[in-house]
Amino acid sequence: MRRAALGDIDAIVDLEETAFPADPWSSVLIEEAVAGLLPTTTFLVAEIAARWVGYAAVSVVQDVAELQRIATVVAARRTGVADALIDAVDAHAGERGAERLLLEVREANVAARALYAGAGFTEIARRPRYYRDGTDAIVLERSVRMTP
């Protein structure tokens, strides 16, 4: 796990479009975030044996961190990449003083909901028709615990 660098932008943009076809972040937004131009947002990337396998984006504002994006390349799914990215996000959030880690997930995203349940997140709110296609968002939270 490491912070994203400019050389990761193309891979992030590609995976963003695969993983979030309904509402991908634009390449401009991703470039700005990786370049450090968005004051609260950090991209972390995961590599296994020099193979690029996923990324997460986290925003930290005072005591609250928000997991904004997380995705694993299809070929590496169900190998623990997202779990490891959540650990890295947690460590980043804790280093910056966050105590709570929040996120939004589509109600129908079975894989992500199982991932988050396993990582200790619990539901704190629902946002009806939150997404462009009319799907509800579920807001989840867990404590930041600085995973060793």
Ligand X SMILES: CC(C)(COP(=O)(O)OP(=O)(O)OC[C@H]1O[C@@H](n2cnc3c(N)ncnc32)[C@H](O)[C@@H]1OP(=O)(O)O)[C@@H](O)C(=O)NCCC(=O)NCCS
**Residues near ligand X (CB under 6 A):** 19, 70-72, 77-83, 105, 109-112, 114-115, 118
- Written as six digits, the tokens of 106 are 């589509």
Shortest Å distance, C-beta 39 to ligand X? 23
Q: Which is closer to ligand X, CB of 37 or CB of 123? A: 123
Q: Which is closer to ligand X, CB of 23 or CB of 36? A: 23
Shortest Å distance, C-beta 17 to ligand X? 11
Say whether 114 sits in a helix, a strand or coil. helix
- Helices and strands in the chain: count of H runs, count of E runs: 4, 7
**Short-list 102, 99, 7, 1, CA closest to 54:** 1
Sheet of 2-3: strand order equals 2-3, 41-48, 51-61, 64-72, 100-106, 137-143, 122-127
Shortest Å distance, C-beta 118 to ligand X? 4
Shortest Å distance, C-beta 145 to ligand X? 17
**Short-list 53, 82, 50, 81, CA closest to 67:** 82
Q: Which is closer to ligand X, CB of 36 or CB of 88? A: 88
Q: Which is closer to ligand X, CB of 98 or CB of 140? A: 140
